[in-house]
Amino acid sequence: MTVEKPTLGIFGAGWVGLVTAACFAELGHEVVVRDVVAKRIDDLNGGRLPFHEPGLAELIERNRERLSFTLDVSELKSGTNLFFACVDTPPTPSGDADLSYIWSVIDDLGDPGEGTLVMKSTVPVGTGAKIRATLDQRGLERVAYVANPEFLSEGRAVEDFLRPDRIVIGSFDDEAGDRVAGLYGGFDAPVVRTSVASAEMIKLAANAFLATRISFINEIANVSEVVGANVDDVAYGMGLDKRIGTTYLNPGIGYGGSCFPKDVSLLKLLAGNSGYHFQLLSAVIEVNDLQKRRVVTKLQQRLGNLRGKKIALLGLAFKPNTDDMREAPSLVLAARLQAEGAEVRAWDPLVTGHPALDGVAVAGSVLDAVRDADAAVIVTEWAELRDLASEEVRDSMRTPLIVDGRNLLDPDAVRAAGFEYEGIGRA
Ligand SMILES: NC(=O)c1ccc[n+]([C@@H]2O[C@H](COP(=O)([O-])OP(=O)(O)OC[C@H]3O[C@@H](n4cnc5c(N)ncnc54)[C@H](O)[C@@H]3O)[C@@H](O)[C@H]2O)c1
pLDDT digits (tens, 9 = 90+) for 96-129: 899 999 999 999 999 999 999 999 999 999 999 9
String of b and e for 15-51 (b: at least 16 CB within 10 Å)?
Answer: bbbbbbbbbbbbbebbbbbbbbeeebbebbeeeebbb
Q: pLDDT digits over 370-416, tens only?
A: 999 999 999 999 999 999 999 999 999 999 999 999 999 999 999 99
Q: pLDDT digits over 278-309, tens only?
A: 999 999 999 999 999 999 999 999 999 999 99
Residues 281/264, Cβ–Cβ less than 8 Å:
yes
Angstrom distance (rounded) from CA 9 to CA 118:
10
Which is higher by pLDDT, 3 or 281?
281
Task: Give me the pLDDT at residue 4, please.
Answer: 80
23 catalytic residue (yes or no): no
Residue 259 Cβ inside 6 Å of ligand 1? The answer reads yes
Percentage of residues of the chain with pLDDT beyond 90: 97
360 has a pLDDT exceeding 90: yes
Q: pLDDT digits over 180-227, tens only?
A: 999 999 899 999 999 999 999 999 999 999 999 999 999 999 999 999
Mutate to test the pocket of ligand 1, among 43, 56, 86, 267 (most ligand atoms within 8 A of CB): 86
Residue 321 Cβ inside 6 Å of ligand 1? The answer reads no
Q: Is 411 left (phi over 0), alpha (psi -120 to 50) or beta?
A: alpha
User: In sequence order, what are the residues at sequence separation of 6 or more whose Cβ sits closer than 8 angstroms to the Cβ of residue 242?
Assistant: none
Residues 312/399, Cβ–Cβ less than 8 Å:
no
Mean pLDDT of 51-67: 97
Percentage of residues of the chain with pLDDT beyond 70: 99
SS3 311: strand
| CA 15 to ligand 1 center in whole angstroms | 7
Chain Cα centroid distance, residue 139: 37
Residue 108 Cβ inside 6 Å of ligand 1? The answer reads yes
Residue 14 Cβ inside 6 Å of ligand 1? The answer reads yes
Residue 258 Cβ inside 6 Å of ligand 1? The answer reads yes
Q: What is the mean pLDDT of the chain?
A: 97
Task: Give me the pLDDT at residue 422, please.
Answer: 97
Q: What is the DSSP letter of 383?
A: G
User: In sequence order, what are the residues at sequence separation of 6 or more whose Cβ sits closer than 8 angstroms to the Cβ of residue 102?
Assistant: 85, 87, 89, 119, 121, 123, 127, 131
Task: Give me the pLDDT at residue 175, please.
Answer: 97
Task: Give me the pLDDT at residue 152, please.
Answer: 97
60 CB burial (10 A radius; 0-12, 13-18, 19+):
buried
Q: pLDDT digits over 235-273, tens only?
A: 999 999 999 999 999 999 999 999 999 999 999 999 999
Mean pLDDT of 36-42: 98
Task: Give me the pLDDT at residue 177, please.
Answer: 98
Angstrom distance (rounded) from CA 131 to CA 145:
8
> Ligand 1: which atom is nearest the Cα of residue 107?
31
| CA 111 to ligand 1 center in whole angstroms | 23
Task: Give me the pLDDT at residue 106, please.
Answer: 98
- DSSP alpha helices (H): ranges in 156-275? 157-162, 174-183, 196-227, 231-239, 260-273
427 has a pLDDT exceeding 90: no
Mean pLDDT of 60-72: 97
Mutate to test the pocket of ligand 1, among 44, 88, 99, 255 (most ligand atoms within 8 A of CB): 88
| CA 95 to ligand 1 center in whole angstroms | 17
- Report the predicted TM-score, pTM, of the whole model to 2 decimal places: 0.96
Active-site residue (options: 201, 259, 269, 306): 259
State the pLDDT confidence band at 3, using cuts at 50, 70 and 90: low
Which residue CA neighbors atom 15 of ligand 1 most closely? Answer: 15
Mean pLDDT of 151-172: 97
130 has a pLDDT exceeding 70: yes
Residue 225 Cβ inside 6 Å of ligand 1? The answer reads no
Task: Give me the pLDDT at residue 79, please.
Answer: 87
| CA 291 to ligand 1 center in whole angstroms | 28
95 has a pLDDT exceeding 90: no
Residue 13 Cβ inside 6 Å of ligand 1? The answer reads yes
| CA 426 to ligand 1 center in whole angstroms | 38
Task: Give me the pLDDT at residue 2, please.
Answer: 60
314 CB burial (10 A radius; 0-12, 13-18, 19+):
buried
Residues 112/83, Cβ–Cβ less than 8 Å:
yes
Backbone angles phi, psi at 23, to 5 degrees: -70, -40
Residues 115/81, Cβ–Cβ less than 8 Å:
yes
